[in-house]
Amino acid sequence: MPNRGIERPGYYKTEIGWLPLDWIVVPIGKVVKLSQYGLSIASDAEGSTPIIGMKNLVSGKVLLNDLAKVSIGQEDVEKFRLLPGDILLNRTNSYDLVGKVAIYDSNQLAVFASYLVRFQFNTSQILPEFVDYFLNSNPAQQRLKKLATKGVSQANINPTVFKEQFLIPVPSIQEQKRIAEILATWDEAIALTERAIEAKQNLRTALLSKLLNFEKSHQTKIGEISQVKSGSTPLRANYESYFKAGTVPWVKTMDLNNGFIYKTAELITDTAIKQTACSVFPKGTVLVAMYGGFNQIGRTGLLKIDAAVNQAISAIQVDKSIVLPEYLLQYLNAKVDYWKRFAASSRKDPNITRKDVCDFPIVVPSLLEQRKIVDVLEASDHEISLLHQYCACLQRQKRGLMQKLLTGEWRVAVQEAA
């Protein structure tokens, strides 16, 4: 029998933790009205019926953009059509992604794919919105993964095992509704902030295109206005001499953030600087990634500290009487696709070389114009950064609220049912 109210007044201890005395815990199958596997069918460019796949399950919601289409008959449309309030569980995926859950909250016609399972709930006992928030909480996701069986490259959650073994708390319908309403308020704030970020980023892109639209007469090459060097990696076998208790920042490709660099993941020693090909570059040096495939080449950074770099990075020390380092950083970020086109067309392995960096064409207006451009773009970047920070704050607040509300640690005032 559960230990009711002895160690914690008003609560009792259950298999999923302490819960209020007026909440019950049941296997989720007890409140499921219907469970159903999705359609096993290939997408069809000529199809007319949208189909929801694993990639459309994001942060507890089903996203309806970029939907694949399938060709199916009306009988299958009716059988697999999603309804508002349906909960989708990603039953098969990598172990990191298996167990993703999202609620379908649209009237748009769509069916769902075979790696998903649809659940409909008895809404006189439990609300799908409450289920969605609960299943997306960190403790619930951890328990879902414990139900998964691992294969060679994928993991699988058996829906029958899920229904029989996964426990879910059930407050009153009124309390479920209030909890879902509170969390939905945070979702709305997060969505508004994300839309603001997108709008600011679109505005920045338009600004960039306008600001960098100069006459070709201003064009030169990076190698003609700067010194371009590369770095090195100290031998890791000499860890004691080259890395242990290091004090010199050492930049690797993953440290490049397309912005200012104030710190690095690793430090090397003065001995490494003296005994290897590494050298220290001064603050104001612009960095460009040369290796790592399409996801890495062209990533940039501007040193705000003195630092060494590894051999995958070109270090550009500009002639500051001709070009501002901040302007070069913004220009390289704006033209990042140049590297990808060049690397793809010139060699099998999509990397670039020091020579490619030296030959990179750049339009250089007057220093006064460069400063104006940098100021405008940095102000835009600052606004976007603040919005990202605010969005991250909202997301942290939501996670904290989920932990408190979905366990009953914080109770909410509810109206009694008439």
Query: Which tens digits make up the pLDDT trace of 57-71?
Result: 999 999 999 899 999
The residues with which 315 forms a beta bridge, in sequence order, are 229, 287
> Lowest mean pLDDT: which of 38-47, 271-280, 347-356?
347-356
**Token pair 């945070």 in the structure block, residue:** 186
Q: What are the residues facing 308 on neighbouring strands?
A: 250
Model confidence pLDDT, tens digit, residues 134-150 = 999 999 999 999 999 99
* Residue 341 confidence (pLDDT): 74
Is the predicted pLDDT of residue 153 greater than 90, yes or no? no
* Whether residue 193 sits in one domain with residue 93: no
Same domain, 32 and 120: yes
Residues 28-60 have pLDDT tens digits of 999 999 999 999 999 998 999 999 999 999 999
Amino acid at 150: K
Q: What confidence category does residue 103 fall into, taking pLDDT thresholds of 50, 70 and 90? A: very high
For residue 381, give the 3-state DSSP assignment: helix
Judge whether 83 lies within some domain: yes
Does the pLDDT of residue 216 top 80, yes or no? no
Any domain includes 345: yes
Whether 116 has a pLDDT exceeding 90, the answer reads: yes
Domain with 377 in it:
173-204+371-418
DSSP H or E run through 204: helix 173-211
Instruction: Assess whether pLDDT exceeds 60 at residue 417.
Output: no
Domain CATH for 359: 3.90.220.20
Residues near 59 by beta carbon (within 8 Å), at least 6 away in sequence = 102, 136
The Cα–Cα gap between 198 and 196 comes to: 5
Buried b (16+ CB within 10 A) or exposed e, 336-362: eeebbebbeeeeeebbbeeebbbebeb
User: In terms of domains, do 271 and 293 share one?
Assistant: yes
Task: State mean pLDDT over 331-351.
Answer: 75
Give the mean model confidence (pLDDT) for residues 293-299. Answer: 85
- Lowest-pLDDT range, 188-192, 262-266, 348-352? 348-352
Query: End of a domain among 340, 364, 388?
Result: 364
Are residue 403 and residue 338 in the same domain, yes or no?
Answer: no
Among the residue ranges 170-174, 347-351, 401-405, the one predicted with the least confidence is 347-351
Residue 93 lies in a domain: yes
Is-contact 76 51, C-beta < 8 A? no
Give the span between the Cα atoms of 342 and 92, in whole angstroms. Answer: 38
Calculate mean pLDDT across residues 392-415. Answer: 95
Percent of the chain exceeding pLDDT 90 equals 85
Does residue 162 share a domain with residue 49? Answer: yes
Question: Same domain for 178 and 166?
Answer: no
233 and 355 co-located in one domain: yes
Per-residue burial over 135-171, b = 16 or more CB atoms within 10 Å of its CB, e = otherwise: bbbeebeebbeebbeeeeeebbbebeebbeebebbbb
Is 275 a domain residue?
yes
Kind plus residue range of the DSSP H or E element containing 14: strand 11-14
Report residue 397 as tokens. Answer: 């607040």
* Alpha carbons 39 and 281: distance in angstroms, whole number: 57
Same domain, 405 and 263: no
Averaged pLDDT score across all residues of the chain: 93
> What are the C-alpha distances in Å from 13 to residues 1, 16, 23, 52, 402?
10, 8, 11, 39, 19
- Same domain as 237, residue 179: no
Contact 58, 102 (CB under 8 A): yes
Which pairing describes strands 92-93 and 155-156: parallel, antiparallel, or unpaired? antiparallel
What's the pLDDT score for residue 2?
A: 54
Q: Are 130 and 102 in contact (CB under 8 A)?
A: no
- The amino acid at residue 411 is R
pLDDT score at 5 = 47
Give kind and range of the element (H or E) at residue 250.
strand 248-251
Cβ–Cβ under 8 Å, residues 269 and 237: no
- Judge if 313 and 404 occupy the same domain: no
Residue 210's pLDDT is 81
Structure confidence at residue 338 as a pLDDT band (50, 70, 90): confident
Asked if residue 301 is part of any domain, the answer here is yes
Count up the domains in the chain and report the number.
3
Residues 357 and 375 in one domain: no
Asked whether residue 209 is domain-assigned, the answer is no
For residue range 248-261, list pLDDT tens digits in order.
Answer: 999 999 999 999 99
Q: Is residue 210 assigned to a domain?
A: no
Q: Are residues 244 and 390 located together in one domain of the fold?
A: no
